[in-house]
Amino acid sequence: MAEIQTGPTPTGSSNDGRILAALGYILWIVALVAYFIKPEDKYLRFHSLQAILLSVAEFVVGIGVGIFCILLVFTGIGALLVPIVWLGFLTAIFVIAVVFAVWAYQGKRTKIPIIGGIAESHA
């Protein structure tokens, strides 16, 4: 379960920082650019790095899902299950990105297990 720290607008982060933090979860390239353009904004750096690491994790899991789907095709039932598996995977990625984007815009410093600790130590 993600650890949520709520409170007022994050210290040192402007409205622009919260918008960039939220967009970083939707588009990883925004997170990458935001990480380097505002090094003084710790809130933005945390969310940017967490969004980048989340994108990398989604990519790695996507490769695993792809391999799983290839194995399903060889079993003979893949034609039915592969679209369902991919749709479920893509829906999960979309929901996670939107939820964390909303939380970032609201000023919540939400840590994803494992990834959040890494992002916090490097922000």
Which DSSP state fits 8? S
Q: What is the pLDDT of residue 99?
A: 95
pLDDT for 3 = 58
User: For residues 101 and 18, what is the distance between their CA atoms, to the nearest angstrom?
Assistant: 9
pLDDT digits (tens, 9 = 90+) for 54-112: 999 999 999 999 898 888 888 877 778 888 889 999 999 999 999 999 999 999 888 88
Global confidence as pTM: 0.81
Distance CA 82, CA 72 (A): 7
The predicted-structure confidence for 11-41, as pLDDT tens digits, reads as follows 556 788 899 999 999 999 999 999 899 888 8
Mean pLDDT of 104-123: 88
- Reduced to 3 states (helix: H, G, I; strand: E, B; else coil), residue 27 is coil
Number of H helices, E strands in the chain: 5, 0
Q: In this predicted model, what pLDDT tens digit does every residue of 33-58 receive, in sequence order?
A: 998 998 888 999 999 999 999 999 99
